[in-house]
């Protein structure tokens, strides 16, 4: 069962931003945390204490705990909408798109992709560009879907007034590592090796790809090409340590 990767999660949270108190979104819906509304289930942001929390650290843990409960619904919708396999970066981009729009089941670009029209589908992602402030996010999702390029940006924590108005001043900036540390762990533990499959293998392949050691498809399958890339990384590490230590 395909799920969003850790890098995909960090990217989504960076796009959404975090508001640790209830606020009214652009269409007047009470929202909290990482885009949580009453439509996703309890708690109802309209009934939560207003304003900034007294303890931001505790509040952020509550926000991420709720996010971990909301996210599987969006993942399931994406799995249902696509009738063809998705690479991990494609799935991550689709979840980000759906988390923002709620439209994965009716988006024309998804239908185009399912019918083998990949280029047209990628172009059509940008049809979802209203309001204008969303265009940079949609372009980033398009790049991620097309190229596997994850934006390297922190997740902003915004302030909020008791009236539910977002204060666009960053209270805290969470790095990718910060975001992943706060999210309840979703992946099974244990070492990876030949024969392993799934999200953690895709994450490994993505890292190996970023340093030029893996050039195949990000398929989540720890096969011979992944094993060779891992061995090359180990060899490079040993050489670096040899040089550093002057042995």
The dihedrals phi and psi of 175, each to the nearest 5 degrees, come to -70, 170
1 is a domain residue: no
Task: Please tell me the total count of domains within the chain.
Answer: 2
In terms of domains, do 146 and 205 share one?
no
In terms of domains, do 85 and 171 share one?
yes
pLDDT of 152 reads: 86
Both tokens of residue 183? 């999210």
163 is a domain residue: yes
Listed residues 182, 210, 231: the one ending a domain? 182
187 is a domain residue: no
Do 218 and 193 touch, CB atoms closer than 8 A? no
pLDDT of 185 reads: 60
pLDDT of 113 reads: 98
Both tokens of residue 112? 């185009």
Whole domain around residue 29: which residue ranges? Answer: 6-182
Neighbour count for residue 14 (Cβ, 10 Å):
24
192 is a domain residue: no
Both tokens of residue 222? 């720890």
36 is a domain residue: yes
Both tokens of residue 137? 């996010």
Specify the DSSP class assigned to residue 96: H
118 is a domain residue: yes
In terms of domains, do 162 and 217 share one?
no
Please give the model's pTM, rounded to 2 decimal places. Answer: 0.75
In terms of domains, do 144 and 205 share one?
no
Candidates 43, 10, 21; CA nearest to 152 is: 10
76 is a domain residue: yes
Candidates 184, 218, 10; CA nearest to 96 is: 10
Instruction: Show the beta-strand stretches assigned E in the chain.
Output: 19-24, 30-33, 36-37, 155-160, 166-174
In terms of domains, do 16 and 121 share one?
yes
Helix (H) or strand (E) holding 157: strand 155-160
Can you state the angle between helices 88-101 and 6-16, rounded to 10 degrees? Answer: 30
In terms of domains, do 162 and 61 share one?
yes
In terms of domains, do 124 and 220 share one?
no
Given a cut of 70, the residues of the chain with pLDDT beneath it are 185-190, 199, 247
d(CA 153, CA 71): 20
In terms of domains, do 169 and 217 share one?
no
Both tokens of residue 7? 């890098």
pLDDT of 115 reads: 98
**Residue 1 CB-density burial (10 A; 0-12 exposed, 13-18 middle, 19+ buried):** exposed
């Amino acid at each position: 069962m395909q799920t969003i990767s850790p890098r995909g999660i960090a990217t989504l949270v960076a796009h959404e931003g975090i508001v640790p108190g209830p606020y009214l979104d652009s269409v007047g819906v009470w929202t909290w945390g990482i885009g949580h509304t009453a439509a996703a289930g309890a708690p109802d942001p309209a009934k939560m204490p207003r304003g900034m929390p007294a303890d931001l650290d505790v509040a952020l843990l509550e926000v991420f705990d709720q996010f971990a409960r909301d996210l599987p619904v969006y993942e399931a919708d994406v799995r249902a909408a696509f009738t063809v396999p998705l690479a991990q970066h494609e799935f991550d981009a689709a979840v980000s798109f759906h988390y923002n729009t709620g439209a994965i089941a009716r988006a024309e670009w998804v239908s185009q992709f399912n019918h083998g029209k990949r280029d047209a589908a990628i172009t059509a992602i940008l049809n979802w560009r209203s309001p204008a402030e969303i265009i940079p996010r949609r372009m980033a999702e398009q790049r991620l879907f097309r190229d596997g390029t994850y934006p390297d940006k922190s997740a902003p924590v915004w302030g909020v007034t008791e009236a539910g108005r977002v204060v666009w001043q960053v209270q805290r900036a969470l790095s990718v590592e910060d975001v992943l540390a706060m999210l309840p762990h979703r992946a099974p533990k244990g070492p990876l090796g030949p024969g392993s499959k799934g999200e953690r293998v895709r994450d490994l392949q993505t890292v190996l790809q970023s340093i030029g050691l893996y050039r195949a498809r990000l398929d989540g399958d720890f096969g011979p090409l992944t094993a060779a890339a891992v061995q090359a990384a180990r060899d490079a590490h040993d050489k670096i340590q040899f040089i550093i230590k002057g042995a």
